[in-house]
Amino acid sequence: MEKYIIKGGLELHGEISVSGAKNEALKVIAAAVLSEDVCTIKNVPDIEDINRLIEILEDLGATVERSDHRLVINPAKINKTEPTPELIRKLRASVMFAGPLLARVGEVTMAHPGGCVIGQRPIDMFLAGFRALGAEVIENEHQYTLRAKKLKGAKIVMPWIAVTATESLMMTACLAEGTTTIINAAMEPEIPALADYLNSCGAKISGAGTPIITIAGVEKISGGTCALIPDRIEAGSFVIMGLATGSEIKVTNLNPNHLETVITNLQKTGANLEIGSDYIITRPSKLKGIELRTHEYPGFPTDLQAPFTVLMTQAKGISLIHETIYEGRLFYTDKLNQMGAHIIMCDPHRVIVNGPAELSGKTLESPDLRAGMALVIAGLVASGKTAVENIYQIERGYENIISRLKGLGANIEKIDDCLVK
């Protein structure tokens, strides 16, 4: 079993560059199915989630060439209506293929998706949206089938804000007849980025990045080239890592406009940050506890809640962390307590952190992608040796993390237990 071994307590220094956005890449890859032409995606991170989506694309009949953070997808031969269930179950983002396949082939049977264990994460809003667009939807506990000769534009009111459901319906509606309006749409920066790419391929989407998105259906989506935006969650994770370890590091190739609430909340804790046009420098700071609430964009992202909570273990006083999006995304705090943190869980959505605490190294299992990164940060802060297991979860979303952190002077290695006597 592979794991990370971290010898913590070191100050970091130097620069770390942010990769292309995972959560844009996954959607642009699925959107390639809408077209019969070649789609080129640049700045693609080399991470496990992308590997899984490429496997699904190839299973569907597409060809994919990959080199130097660039994917060239030729979807011309896609005509499969039942992607292999084992591939679909490997990650939640596989659900993104359902709409484009329906729009292109007229029918699709998909296994229910898998993914991070951070909450219930149903797909009811996707299915309600496909129904509104005129699809027949037949569902059982293992799979669902969607059928529609031609999708029809509709008014879709989202009962609450959901990122991938917004993106899925936005891309599917591109090939519907007539106009679709999505009301109460999510506004994450990856959504206007996806809309810009689709518009460059002939789609007619307006309002992406606001709560009301309008899509005028078109006959055809052509091929195109998409350069992914920087990954704001990776950027935020690195900035928090710099602060938590009391280090001066420069996080480059980011867009600070996508991190405004993150920056504001960090500054509220007393974080000393230098914000440039495409970088943030962290400096050793006297941190104090604050109250934080996660919220849909432009609020503080749930995906940075776990790293932020680690930071608050190093801040003076009480912090209240309120995770409003997921009911299963605070259980990793138990692992921080094993390391010496003082965190009390009030209910599945709220914890109180009493800091500062001296963390010491332990063997910990990574529960999900973002909590896994939070444990890595905790390991870098802690004295002694931390072992982080189940690292597949981390490598789902962070490219080449060992050598990038070593570049900052971190003492971190990946070892394979089977090879260690």
Site string for ligand EPZ, 295-334 (x = CB under 6 A): ------xxx---------------------xx--------
Which member of 12, 26, 241, 378 binds ligand EPZ (CB under 6 A)? Answer: 26
Establish whether 116 is a catalytic residue.
yes
- Tokens 């082939």 map to which residue? 105
C-alpha separations of 150 from 136, 169, 172, 215 in Å: 11, 15, 11, 16
* 376 contributes a contact to ligand EPZ by CB under 6 A: no
- E strands of 258-347, at which residues? 272-275, 279-283, 291-293, 317-322, 343-347
- Tokens 């890859």 map to which residue? 29
- Cβ atoms of 11 and 244 within 8 Å: the answer is no
Instruction: Give me the catalytic one of 116, 174, 201, 226.
Output: 116
Which member of 56, 98, 148, 162 binds ligand EPZ (CB under 6 A)? Answer: 162
Which member of 35, 43, 94, 164 binds ligand EPZ (CB under 6 A)? Answer: 164
Site string for ligand EPZ, 381-420 (x = CB under 6 A): ----------------x-----------------------
Least separation in angstroms between CB 362 and ligand EPZ: 23
User: Strands 248-252 and 224-227: what pairing?
Assistant: unpaired
SS (H, E, C) 155-185: EEECCCCCHHHHHHHHHHHCCCECEEEEECC
- Reduced to 3 states (helix: H, G, I; strand: E, B; else coil), residue 106 is coil
* 136 contributes a contact to ligand EPZ by CB under 6 A: no
Least separation in angstroms between CB 1 and ligand EPZ: 22
Show Cβ contacts of residue 6 under 8 Å, excluding neighbours closer than 6 positions: 361, 376, 379, 380, 382, 385, 386, 387, 388, 410, 411, 412
Count of other CB atoms within 10 angstroms of residue 138? 10
Residue with Cβ nearer ligand EPZ (170 or 357)? 170
Of 26, 6, 50, 154, the C-alpha closest to 100 is: 26
Least separation in angstroms between CB 325 and ligand EPZ: 5
Q: Which stretch binds ligand EPZ (CB under 6 A): 156-164, 197-205, 219-227, 337-345?
A: 156-164
Binding to ligand EPZ (CB under 6 A) within 228-287 occurs at none
How far is Cα of residue 316 from the mean position of the Cα atoms in its chain?
Answer: 30
* 93 contributes a contact to ligand EPZ by CB under 6 A: yes
- Give contact residues for ligand EPZ (rule: CB under 6 A): 23, 26, 92-93, 116, 119-126, 162-165, 301-303, 325-326, 369-370, 397
Residues with catalytic function: 116
